[in-house]
A and B are shown apart, each in its own frame.
Chain A
Amino acid sequence: MEQSATGSAIAQHAIALTINGQARQLRVNPWTTLLDLLRENLALTGTKKGCDHGQCGACTVLVDGKRINSCLTLAVMKDGAEVTTIEGLAEGEALHPMQEAFIEHDAFQCGYCTPGQICSAVGLVNEGHAQARHEIRELMSGNICRCGAYTNIVDAVEAVLGQNAGATP
């Protein structure tokens, strides 16, 4: 058992998470972030670690449908939650419309920020607060792209928002 700064013993905690539709029973240390749990313990390395401080958005995942920075989230605090990562967006071989749109609009270069961008964009569409391009830009501002693919990312998100607007009268 590990010890705290003050020397007392620290227990691991049992948590239940549904990750990409699959129920998991896990034991975690209190200091394990959701990002490290995904990458280091569950080999779900699609979610990226950019800054590890909430400043870049590479680690964005959906928790109970809402986009958050997994690097600033302690896994132990998400007991019972549903987590969706980039690995969980496609339905079998069929890519998620946002994944399709990123390919269609050439919305990445190196691809490092892309899983976070796509999860963030899916969250943006769910939230329903963006329509115009300037709104997409503002509400995608939590995702930094060092390659500067921003214009094409906005194109991709705009296209998906347009498809949805067409689908729901």
Chain B
Amino acid sequence: MMRFAYQKPESVAQAAAVLEADPAAQIIAGGTNLVDLMKYDVTRPGTIIDITGLDLKTIAVDETGALQLGALATNAETAYHPEVQAGWPLLASAILAGASPQLRNAATNGGNILQRTRCYYFYDRAEPCNKRRPGSGCGALEGVNRMHAILGESPDCIAVHPSDMAVALAALDAEVSVEGPSGKRRIAFADFHRLPGDRPEADNTMERGEIVTGISVPANPFGPHQTYLKLRDRLSYAFALVSVAAAMRIEEGSIAQLRVALGGVAHKPWRRKEVEAQFVGRPANRDTFTAFAAALLEGATGHGQNDFKLELAPRAIVRALEQACAGTPQDQACKVVL
């Protein structure tokens, strides 16, 4: 690891000030992604700003019924919190589908949504990668791209966002609270992460000096009709090949409300509200779900090794919608897919 200095600020304002003043400074929270990237020399902060002393650890339901998550509440605390399990089972399930118990004990909610891609070319400094070194090219495009994107890619980058939690947050219409030099603002989850375009180095729409302080997730009417289905190379402790966060409300056998976000297929959680809206009023059955999957995946393209995702993704969507419809969410301990 490179040498770096260490600071532990006592307020968000102080942390943001250090971050803004020093272009080589980076925030550290749980450290499970940043320390890994520093060991591979993928990132080289001159100073790390330890924010774990800040008062951002809440997990609470506010007066509007929304879930308020502090940026520093851990993934484990969040997923096992009784209020989260009762009102936002999709979120709890997605968090528990990710990483390992040890990692979830250390990982924070802010760090989770800000984790960097696991693209091999991003990790390997001997290879080109526009995300790590803008202008150097994309090694994955014609290379080892089994894990890579089938939607929303650009000629400059086909990396995917690795977070499971983010996929649930996208489906649940969450908002991210950030604080920085120009004050506080809230960013709709759909606008938080970005597609690579010609600037793959930017994962999200945060500005220099901004810090994530929390995530709020509105109350939802889905009850047991929500599920997180994650398909991967082994049953646990592996990143998604394709994952689906699905939630629906059914009235008299028809879809009254529908939310679907996909993981493992794009540079950000993939969700298209206009497609969801088109399917409201349609009968909640397999034919509808199959048509929905085709519509949501419109324009998907493979890059060779990841061509299988073109087949896997629609099947995963249909299966997740069947689970949501039946009110039988995927169990994250028993991996049998019903």
Contact = CB atoms under 8 A, between A and B. Distances in A.
Nearest to B38: A31
Nearest to B46: A6
B31 A77 contact: yes
Nearest to B234: A141
The 4 A-B pairs with the shortest beta carbon distances in the complex, nearest first, are A142-B100, A141-B236, A30-B6, A6-B46
A141 B235 CA distance: 9
Nearest to A73: B31
B101 A123 contact: yes
Given A5-B24, A77-B28, A57 B100 contact: yes
Interface stretch (A39-47, A106-114, A132-140, A159-167): A132-140
A67 B105 contact: yes
B235 to A, nearest CB: 8
Given A53-B36, A57-B102, 14 more contacts: A5-B2, A8-B5, A30-B5, A68-B102, A69-B106, A72-B36, A74-B48, A77-B52, A123-B102, A123-B105, A129-B80, A138-B332, A140-B101, A142-B101
A166 B4 CA distance: 50
Contact of B5 (A4, A77, A130, A139): A4
Given A74-B28, A77-B50, A142-B237, A3 B101 contact: no
Interface string B24-41: 100010011001101110
B35 A74 contact: yes
B333 interface: yes
Nearest to A139: B101
A141 B6 contact: no
A5 B46 contact: yes
A95 interface: no
B103 interface: yes
Interface of A: 2-6, 8, 10-11, 13, 29-31, 33, 52-54, 57, 60, 66-69, 72-74, 76-77, 120, 123-124, 127, 129-130, 132, 134-135, 137-143
B5 A11 contact: yes
Interface string B65-93: 00000000000100010000000000000
A69 B47 contact: no
B36 A54 contact: yes
28 contacts: A4-B24, A4-B47, A5-B3, A5-B4, A10-B3, A11-B5, A31-B3, A31-B4, A33-B35, A54-B32, A57-B100, A66-B105, A67-B102, A69-B102, A69-B103, A69-B106, A72-B106, A73-B106, A74-B28, A74-B35, A77-B28, A77-B31, A77-B52, A120-B102, A127-B76, A141-B100, A142-B100, A142-B103
Which of B45, B103, B105 counts the most A-chain CB atoms under 10 A from its CB?
A: B105
B106 A13 contact: no
